[in-house]
Every structure is written in structure tokens, then in C-alpha cells.
Amino acid sequence: HKKGVGMAKKFLDFVGKNVLSMDVTVFQQVDSLHKPTGPIKYAQELAAEAFGADATFFSIHGTSGAIQAMILSVMGEEEKIIVPRNIHKSVTSGIILSGAIPVYMQPEIDKNIGVALNVTPETVERTLKEHPDAKAVLIINPTYYGVSTDIVKIAEIVHDYGAILMVDEAHGPHLKFNEKLPISAMEAGADICAQSTHKIIGSMTQSSMLHVKG
């Protein structure tokens, strides 16, 4: 946060002074991600409106950090969370950090190409019947191979059991903005979802969003 002061001249010439002029410390006009009251707060409110959330939080720890925050904000020790087998390692980290108990669902498999697809509403309902005390269900939508599921139906099932629906939507921040694409998590009735803004719709690496409803 020194605007390039003390930096090697070679690197300074390479990145340019305009980039480093934005490297400032935290003060009121710039705002803080820890407790935003100014432009960051306003930007988060605009994002919430755009994505159909009640609240949006910006993450500079990527979607991995947002997923961990999502799980830690919902789950406590010894509480059950239902997750598919093909989860990202950040989900596993969040479960370990929270002390929650994972209950695994098997996603459908495409044996021709050898990849996991997605979980079906039937799989979610069957798992909830076996574990009606589960506090939350976390699904990936779309998966890392671009496969979406019937998230509207899944949201209905999860809420019928009084559970919370979390969505790893890392590869789906664009869904809200094209009616030809599958429905987004917030539109479908998810309670909380994490998105990789930098992967699909354009932002600097590590920047992601956490959307919350209710």
C-alpha cells in the first residue's frame, strides 16, 4: 500500500504507475471488506440486486474461501451435512473446520466418458429420508464439467425437510444473465451459494461472491 515506493524500478516500469497508484491503504473513502460502509457496501448491495440475493459478500480468497465461509456460517460440530462425492476440496476443508459430519451422495456417472455428472432430486430425497436430522445439503451446480441438475426440485425437497440448501456455483455466475442457460441457484430457491466471478464473468483472480437469501 505504498503506491510503488521502494519497488524495483524494473518491475515498476513493467506494471506501470497507474496500477500501483491504486495500491492504497484502508481509509474511509476506499472502504474495508471487513466492515464495509462506503463503496464496497454499495457495490455488494448492487451485486445482491443483480443476482437476486438478499445480501452479497465479496471474497478475495476465491470461491474456496467463500465455500469455507458458507459452511462455517451454517454448520456446527456434530451436525450432519449431505454432500456429493465429487465435491471440491474446499468443501472438505470447510466440513473439517466446522466439525460437521459429512453424509455422502453418489452423483450419476457417465460411463462412456468416465466423469461424474450431478446428483438427482431422487438421490437427494433418498439421502434425506435416511438422514432426516441433516442440517444442510450442499450440491455443485453446475459441476466442473458443466452439468446442471433440477435445482428447483432439489430446493423444494431440501426445504420440505427443514434443511438449508447450499450451492457451490463456482462455474455458474453467468447463469442469471441468459435465459437460455439453466436457472441460477438464487433464482431456484437456494439459501446460500458461492460463485467464481473471476472464472466466467470477468474479474481479477481470487475475486468471488457469496450470495445469501433469508
Distance CA 204, CA 207 (A): 6
**Do residues 20 and 5 touch, judged by C-beta distance below 8 A?**
no
DSSP code for 142 = S
6 found inside a domain:
no
pLDDT recorded at residue 4: 64
Quick check: helix, strand or coil at residue 1? coil
32 found inside a domain:
no
138 found inside a domain:
yes
In which band, very low, low, confident or very high, does the pLDDT at 93 lie, cut at 50, 70 and 90? very high
DSSP string covering 54-91, please? Answer: SEEEEESSHHHHHHHHHHHHH--TT-EEEEETT--HHH
119 found inside a domain:
yes
pLDDT recorded at residue 69: 98
**Do residues 21 and 29 touch, judged by C-beta distance below 8 A?**
no
Per-residue pLDDT tens digits for 10-63: 887 888 877 777 777 777 788 888 899 999 999 999 999 999 999 999 999 999
146 found inside a domain:
yes
pLDDT recorded at residue 8: 83
CATH number of residue 88's parent domain: 3.40.640.10
In which band, very low, low, confident or very high, does the pLDDT at 3 lie, cut at 50, 70 and 90? low
pTM higher than the cut 0.85: yes
- The burial of 118, by beta-carbon neighbours within 10 Å (0-12 exposed, 13-18 middle, 19 or more buried), is given as buried
**Domains contained in the chain, number:** 1
Q: Is the pLDDT of residue 1 over 60?
A: no
* Structural domain for 64, as ranges: 55-212
208 found inside a domain:
yes
Block residue for cell numbers 439421502: 127
User: What is the percentage of the chain residues whose pLDDT exceeds 90?
Assistant: 80
Between 124 and 8, residue with greater pLDDT: 124
45 found inside a domain:
no
User: What is the percentage of the chain residues whose pLDDT exceeds 70?
Assistant: 98
Burial 82-113 (b: 16+ CB within 10 A, else e): bbbebbbebbebbbeebebeebebebeeeeee
pLDDT recorded at residue 11: 80
Output the average pLDDT for the chain. 93
For 105, list phi and psi in degrees, rounded to 5: -110, 145
Cis link prior to 36 (omega < 30° from 0)? no
Would the CA dihedral through 50, 142, 195, 98 be positive or negative?
positive
Block residue for cell numbers 461424474: 116
In which band, very low, low, confident or very high, does the pLDDT at 2 lie, cut at 50, 70 and 90? low
Per-residue pLDDT tens digits for 200-214: 888 888 999 999 998
Q: Is the pLDDT of residue 152 over 90?
A: yes
Instruction: Give the Cα-Cα-Cα angle 48, 125, 187 (nearest 5 degrees).
Output: 20
8 found inside a domain:
no
